[in-house]
Amino acid sequence: MATTTAGEEFCDVCGAFDPTFDKAHGFYTCKACKNVWAYYYDDPDYNEVEEACPACDGTGRIRKYGLEDCLECDGSGVHH
């Protein structure tokens, strides 16, 4: 998607000025050509807070987005 100097959003594939935004999933769809695109900041999970790792007494952080490994110990309790 692109934006004109007047702030209007349009599809950068076909130039149509009528994209729709799926707020639940965080992506845009062009009604004319069906092009789909997304921005990381529109992802509903973008601002999720990481959780403290119970394996390393909370000093490590568990990744979000479906990954369960601690950034410090990989779930082993031993920092690398």
pLDDT in tens, 13-38: 999 988 898 888 888 899 999 999 88
pLDDT for position 23: 85
Predicted local distance difference test score (pLDDT) of residue 66? 47
Mean pLDDT for 45-63 is: 70
The pTM for the full model equals 0.50
Q: What are phi and psi of 48, to 5 degrees?
A: -60, 140
pLDDT at 63 over 80: no
Q: Phi, psi at residue 55, to the nearest 5°?
A: -70, -30
What single-letter amino acid sits at 70? C
Any idea what DSSP says for residue 7? S
76: which 2 tokens? 């082993």
